[in-house]
Structure 1
Amino acid sequence: MQAAQPGVGVEIRGAVSGKYKDFYARRGYWPLWVEKDRIGPQADALLALIADSELDGLRPRAYGARDLQKLIDAADNSPNPKVLARAELALSKALADLVVDMRRPARGMAMRYLDPEVEPRDPDPSDILRTAALAPSLKDYIQTAGWMSPFYMQLRKARAIYLDTWGDLPAITVPADVKLRPGGKSPDIARLRQRLGLSDGTAYDKALVERVRVFQRDHGLKPDGVAGTMTVAALNRGPRYYDRLLALNLERARLLPGPWTRHVVVDAASARLWYYNKGALDGTMKVVVGTEQTQTPLMAGMIRYATLNPYWNIPPDLVQRNVAPKILRGASLKSLNYEALADWSADAAPLPQSAVDWDAVAAGRREVRVRQLPGAGNAMGRVKFMFPNDLGIYLHDTPQRDLFAKADRHFSNGCVRLEDAQRLGRWFFGKAPTLDGDAPEQHQPLPQPVPVFLTYLTAVPTAQGVQFLPDVYGRDGI
């Protein structure tokens, strides 16, 4: 940043008050927006973000964009310290107000917070400005809304593209009881052409095939160019339905931190994981998440330690459905690499297999704690990453590598199975965590706890715009 007039700092010092003074005093009243006696281009970036804030569910007029522009023009036309300081402080206040409103979650968003560090709160204006001042480029930080999750900003852009692409097309209903195919001719095809904004006609020609493919790709359907049952149903929902779906997913993404916060995001809808640090995406991988019956919950917490060489405490319903029948058919706990325990305490005593009424367990009349011993075949793999919660949800390694090749990866009992647990471990620790001998359940605290957010995004940004994913858990309710 180029130096400003020394008098600008004097004027800021005389005019600033409240929590804004905390920010400016710590930097010797050095301006954030004034560069070489002019308001810098970061101000234009802020005005552009405000102008589009309807996409965030906000009112652009609430941030005084017209008054800000007048102050900027006045500073450009008469760059004296008093005028520059007035514009400087007005821009700082507008940025702080916008950040607070963009970060504030909508009421009723069903995220469970396990630790105070991850709970939403209105950030202090001095903290907002201090973070902005630390960015390598304030203009870039504002243009990308660096205080928001990249998912949020990508979906925000995708929403605008979607509305521009599909939002103004005719609200025409396409008959749902016929399958329209390339090469055909009919009045129903004429309605399909109108619905997709093509020229009048009754032919299912190449232009219509390509337009149907684009629509299918954007709406999470197989892009075969055939207007079958699912494609027609998506068309007949109309753009307002999908805009509401985009708005819902924006609210889910609003709960996620910006990339300058070191954190992990798990999306249970797409079954993927991302991890961020220092303003950038450090990596991503596939995951396996819960089934429709054993859903991975919406929750956020702090990953505090890794457990190497872990046991797997088998859920009681799986003991009833899977373990007990095997024992009754003649298998042994030892052959299965399992052991039964007297209770759920940390130092529970082992139970002989003969001491358990397996008929009662199989019938659901009795529960018994069974765990799988550590080893190559353990369902937890070699490591699990723990953010303590009463649902027993965590991130873990897995020996079932074949599941990562599947497009739909909803197979777990709620926990998150990692495609590359060793890589994520190196990111957490700065090096690969290693065992100290062969003892089970070796706990290693992370150098610094890392926030993890388990979310559910059924609308995801793509290079072309947006794609809608199946609502596997039935949470959208639209």
Structure 2
Amino acid sequence: MESGSTARLLGALLIAGLGCGAAGAQDAPAPAPAAVVAPVPALTPEQAAFRDALLAETAGFDAAERTAIEGFYAERAYAPFWAETANLDGLLAALETAEGQALPYQRYEATGVRALFQPGATAAPAARELAATRAYLRYAGDVNSGALRPSRIDPEIAIAPTRLAPALLLGKLDGASVAEVLAGLAPRAPDYAALIAEKARLEAASAAGTWGPTVPTGPTLHEGETGPRIAELRARLARMGYETAMTETPGDFFDAGLVEEVKAFQRDHGLNADGAVGQHTLAEINASPRDRLEQVVVNLERARWLNRDFGPRYILVNIPDYRATVYQGGGPVWTSKVVVGEAKKTRTTEFSEVMSYIVVNPSWNVPSSIAKRDYLPKLRHNPSALSHTNMQLLTPAGTVIDPRLVDWNALGDSFPFRIRQSPSDGNALGKVKFMFPNDHAIYLHDTPHRELFARDARAFSNGCIRVQDPDGLARLLLAGQVDDPAAAFDGWVAAKAEKTVTLRNPIPVNIVYRTVFLDDAGVIRYRDDVYGRDAEVFSALEAAGVSLPLAEG
């Protein structure tokens, strides 16, 4: 009783302003009113039953998916979402586009979802809703970032697609059109829509057999020659869409018009546009619509893996195109031929990182794998071999030693040394290397072997990327950092001393593998699958449920 009386007395004193601190209380602002918490309305029996059924159905789900689904319906007071016609229609319409985008249609169980919502269907509301919600989540995730996990296909595809969490995907439906949400999740880059259109074109050509018979193999065909193979070449190119204005010359004569058709085909497929039809060009011409269709399907998946904003300024290296390009302000500002990793032993990895510095007049620290593979046999044959290339042999601690004092034949397959090549005109890295630290020991660099840039196919390096125009890239990267980028860079090179330059504006580098792409002029281009990765990805897509027409007409 006394404690209750004391509490009431203290309350009265506080109300009267006579409690602790009362002397200054008259100048203090009045306390804010307590927040009013609206009572949570009780669930109706139907809502409670829906909730209980939903909890039971999701018991075995992945934790993130289960939490997201339960939260989505809890916020809606367990009211059905897909029972609203517009929502269901938007979902089903999007699912019907899956095959056109080379996505695994059966994975989304569109037929089953549609049946669950038909008049007379006896499925419980929670079961119907859950089936539609899971279809939405699967399709939304796949169309946004791909149906496959790239690193599971090949560890050299070190791409990490940005995968949206189930809660975020469901949150996008709040007050929005389902159709608009799903359309917005697909890649918006122009090449995605172009690849979808190309897929439809190739499917039609495959079904109808409109490309006709292939051109027989034989000697290289040149301008001015005559023969039945030339007539077949002209006919096949025309059926593929390469047709110039009609000429008065016979169809079996290799005239100037046919030369231009061949050159156009060669440019579209990354071949030397010389107008002659040799073995490589003929193989590309004789590729079937089905072959090309598989390429397009694979590159649609790649586009989904890279469905993100690359930013206002970035470097793109496309391995099969043997080309690097800097994009700035929405367009290309620099481009160069490149040499990439050799196809059998030292393939270049696909990944993204940020270039943060360059090294002018770099030393080359020979990777241990290259030292063991390439230099150990040379040193066994001639212990003075390194002296001809301005190289030094070092201990692991960095002490220079004379290779003539080493018993190379006693080492077996081990190589307990380091090899370093000092800056020089013959240095393997040339005058500059461009560094974006990564786990793959890959970077861009100059090269003294300029002759390789004249080749159509340029997969010759040990994995790093050799650049034909390193000077142009260096000057571009230094713009805004020094008053005269060209003079500064040329001066550093002329000094012959190794110099590291930190970039004031680091730039993202994206090393990709696109064998079908929309070029900067808006033209679909095809490239050879130099590393065989198309076949790997297509096999994985088939295993995931992506299907193509079974046969050609």
| The two structures share one fold, judged by TM-score above 0.5 | yes
Superposed counterparts of 1:78-89, under 5 Å = none
The answer to whether the aligner puts 1:395 opposite 2:443 as a matched pair is yes
**Aligned counterparts of 2:446 and 2:206: Cα–Cα separation in 1:** 42
Is 1:328 paired with 2:384?
yes
Identity of aligned residues (%): 21
Q: Does the aligned pair in 2 maintain the 1:267–1:273 contact within 8 Å?
A: yes
2:199 is equivalent to residue 159 of structure 1: yes
The aligned residue for residue 167 of structure 2 is 126
Kindly provide the CA deviation profile for residues 101-158 of structure 1, in whole angstroms up to 9, marking residues without a partner as x: 23121786213476xxx5458532333467899xxxx969936923x77765554444
Query: 1:366-424 CA distances to partner (integer Å, 9 max, x unpaired)?
Result: 553111346886727255221124xxx22134364947964554342211245425656
Equivalent residue letter for 1:124:
A
Which residue of the partner structure matches residue 105 of structure 1?
A: 148
Aligned partner letter, 2:199: R
Deviation at 1:188, TM superposition (A): 4.8
- The unaligned stretches of length 5 or more in structure 2 are 1-47, 55-65, 78-85, 118-129, 244-248, 537-553
Q: Partner letter of residue 444 of structure 2?
A: H
Contact 2:95 2:139 (8 Å CA) reproduced: no
Check whether the contact 1:340–1:369 (CA below 8 A) recurs between aligned residues.
yes
Does the C-alpha gap of structure 1 residues 129 and 266 become closer, same or farther in structure 2, counting only changes over 3 Å? farther
Contact 2:515–2:527 (Cα < 8 Å) also in 1: yes
Counterpart in the other structure of 2:288: 238
Tell me which amino acid in the other structure corresponds to 1:469: R
| Contact 1:319/1:370 (<8 A) preserved | no
Map Cα deviations across residues 450-478 of structure 1 (whole Å, 9 max, x no partner): 6x654433333344653332444455569
Contact 1:340 1:371 in 2 (8 A): yes
Aligned-partner Cα distance in 1 for 2:422–2:228: 66
**How many residue pairs align between the two structures?**
420
Q: 2:524 aligns to what?
A: 466
Given residue 517 of structure 2, which amino acid in structure 1 is its aligned partner? Answer: V
d(CA) in 2 for partners of 1:475 and 1:398?
A: 27
Q: Distance in 1 between matches of 2:134 and 2:504?
A: 37
Distance in 1, matches of 2:420 and 2:104, equals 51
Counterpart residue type for residue 291 of structure 1: E
Query: Is the Cα–Cα contact under 8 Å of residues 54 and 60 in structure 1 kept in the other structure?
Result: no
Amino acid at match of 1:342: T
Q: How many angstroms does 1:47 deviate by?
A: 4.7
- Relative distance call for 1:258 and 1:264 in structure 2 (3 A) is farther
Kept in 1, the 8 Å contact 2:318–2:513? The answer is yes
After alignment, is 206-215 or 170-179 more displaced?
206-215
Equivalent residue number for residue 340 of structure 1: 393
Cα distance in 1 between the residues matched to 2:91 and 2:401: 69
* Partner-residue secondary structure (3-state), 1:386: coil
Within 5 Å, which residues of 2 pair with 1:375-394?
379=429, 381=432, 383-389=434-440, 393-394=441-442
Which residue of 1 is the match for residue 319 of structure 2? 268
Q: Secondary structure at the match of 1:298?
A: coil
**Aligned CA distance change for structure 1 residues 59 and 154 (closer, same or farther; 3 Å):** same
Work out whether residues 269 and 525 of structure 2, in 8 Å CA contact, stay in contact via their aligned partners in 1.
yes
CA distance in 2, matches of 1:474, 1:193: 30
Separation (CA, whole Å) in 2 of partners of 1:207 and 1:373: 53
Distance 1:421 1:361 in 2: 45
DSSP 3-state at the match of 1:460: strand
Distance 1:397 1:139 in 2: 45
Alignment of 1:109-258 (within 5 A): 109-112=153-156, 119=160, 123-128=164-169, 142=183, 145-146=186-187, 154-163=194-203, 168=208, 169-177=210-218, 188=229, 191-192=232-233, 194-195=235-236, 196-197=238-239, 203-204=251-252, 212=262, 214-223=264-273, 229-251=279-301, 253-254=302-303, 256-258=305-307
Which residue number corresponds to residue 297 of structure 1?
A: 348
Structure 1 stretch displaced more, 267-276 or 44-53: 44-53
Q: Distance in 1 between matches of 2:265 and 2:278?
A: 12
Counterpart of 2:395, as a letter, is: A
CA distance in 2, matches of 1:351, 1:184: 63
Distance in 1 of aligned mates of 2:132 and 2:382: 69
Q: In structure 2, what is the equivalent of residue 312 of structure 1?
A: 364
Structure 2 residue aligned with 1:32: none
Unaligned runs of 5+ in 1: 1-13, 30-38, 72-88
Per the normalisation by structure 2, the TM-score is 0.53
* Rounded Cα–Cα distance in structure 1 between residues aligned with 2:475 and 2:410: 37
In structure 2, how many angstroms separate the alpha carbons of the residues matched to 1:374 and 1:224?
Answer: 38
Superposed CA deviations along residues 53-88 of structure 1, whole A, max 9, x for unmatched, are 4332332894759999xx9xxxxxxxxxxxxxxxxx
Which region of structure 1 is more displaced relative to structure 2, 169-178 or 320-329?
Answer: 320-329
Distance in 2 between residues matched to 1:164 and 1:222, nearest whole Å: 29
